[in-house]
Amino acid sequence: MLRHTFGIERMRFGEWLLITLSRDPSRPDYAGGTLLYNETNALDFLIKTVPTFKQKIRGKRVLDYGCGWGWQAALMVREGATEVVGLEIDPQGRERARRKAAEYGFSGRITIKERLDEAEYGTFDLVLSSSSFEHFADPEAELRAMRRAVAEDGSVIISFAEPWYSHSGSHMNFFCRVPWMNLWWSEETLMRVRSRYRDDGARRFEEAVGGLNRMTLAKFTRIIRNSGMDVRWMKVYPTKSLPLVAHIPVLRELLVSAVAIELAIKRSHEIPATRVDSMDARNLLKGGR
């Protein structure tokens, strides 16, 4: 009985501590991530994580897989993409993206929809997933869909920030700035405190609006290895460019804050397959932990 009571008290203390360290629910969310996108910065993350990104989209038919509010789609057309099709499951997001395309005068070159028509599969020069892969409920199935969508000589680019064990991997930093919250507190405590700021009734990370699939680096690389696609290049980005982090497995999970990769259906004669930019990425692709 004493042990049971102590467990409850410890849980209550953890919840109290998290509340104490979090913002007042009456105050606005802490800004961050895609909420900060605008007409000048919406491509910044991709330009930073994907080498020669602007060159890759010029003159190309691009599928923006998880286009959100449409900032990226509009700026990709502005940077020279021939056409962008944006997929978004959220109806409000789709409507905002359509308004954004019209606002820029790109309605004829940007199409926003919930899903592709069958005839559109295999027609895209580039399929892009930016800041989405950690949210997909079934990432393996979504990657298979991306593979179907890309043309035989095209490529799939995936770039996302904050793998699960990184400092903001819980994506709860809109109400608390403590790093590694999902390591300090239980899921139950985090979701209970989160309910002070969101009313979606979520009790697990996967149930939250937008969803979280607990995408660790190890999980991501297993998915890539099992995809049947060729890796053109892969880059991992340690937090604040800390040296040696990428070479130490435990630190890699904790301190790599972003990952980017380019995949192809068949091996390119121009870009060697499985070219990686660090020994860490090479070890990850070979199954190193």
Domains and CATH numbers, the chain: 33-165+212-286 (3.40.50.150)
Instruction: Name residues whose C-beta falls within 8 Å of residue 238's C-beta, 6 or more positions apart in sequence.
Output: 245, 246, 255, 256, 257
Given pLDDT bands bounded at 50, 70 and 90, which one contains residue 210? confident
Q: Which residue has the tokens 């035989």?
A: 152
Q: Are 101 and 73 in contact (CB under 8 A)?
A: yes
Q: What are the distances in angstroms from CA 146 to CA 40, 62, 129, 220? A: 27, 11, 9, 15
Check pLDDT > 80 for residue 109.
Answer: yes
Q: What is the pTM of this model?
A: 0.87
Name the nearest CA neighbour of 97 among 129, 131, 64.
64
Q: Give 160-177 pLDDT, tens digit per residue.
A: 999 999 999 999 999 999
